[in-house]
Amino acid sequence: MSYSIKEVAKMMNVAPSTLRYYDQEGLLPNIKRLNGIRVFEDADFKWLRVLNCLKNTNMPIKKIRQYVELAQEGDTTLEERYDLIKEQKQKILKQIEEFQYYLKEIEYKQWYYETAIKAGTEKVLDDLIPDIATLELDKIPKEIKERKEEKRNE
């Protein structure tokens, strides 16, 4: 089956201009044209998924282009493509680790506001939270955490 750029853009949840940009950057090397109009086929979706994945995991266009060029060269570049993917995986894992770190701060702020809203004031937290300058993550006071766990276990 054939698809227009508009249909593919909708399926990928991107603007048609994004696909045009990818094409101009050489990231869609196998896209056919009929009378100058890009036509996507079912077989193109495998590549589009990879491209979408690499872009959405913040791989730079330069690296994606390198991956595309290597893929076009075939089996002689398997190890180089593997290395690019392995490198990207490490970057993703680092991002996940960073987000898990920041999630702890967000969870603290959620607890903070839930507690303040329940009491009707932030003053209730004054005695629980030290007022010492630090860049360390905020933490729910240990004794409150333990009380919550005890209540859940009852």
Q: Which domains does the chain have, with CATH numbers?
A: 2-73 (1.10.1660.10), 98-153 (no CATH)
Cα–Cα distance, 78 to 72 (Å, whole number): 11
Please determine, for residue 130, whether its predicted confidence score (pLDDT) is greater than 80: no
The reported pLDDT for the residue numbered 138 is 77
pTM (two decimals) = 0.74
pLDDT digits (tens, 9 = 90+) for 70-120: 999 999 999 999 999 999 999 999 999 999 999 999 999 999 999 999 999
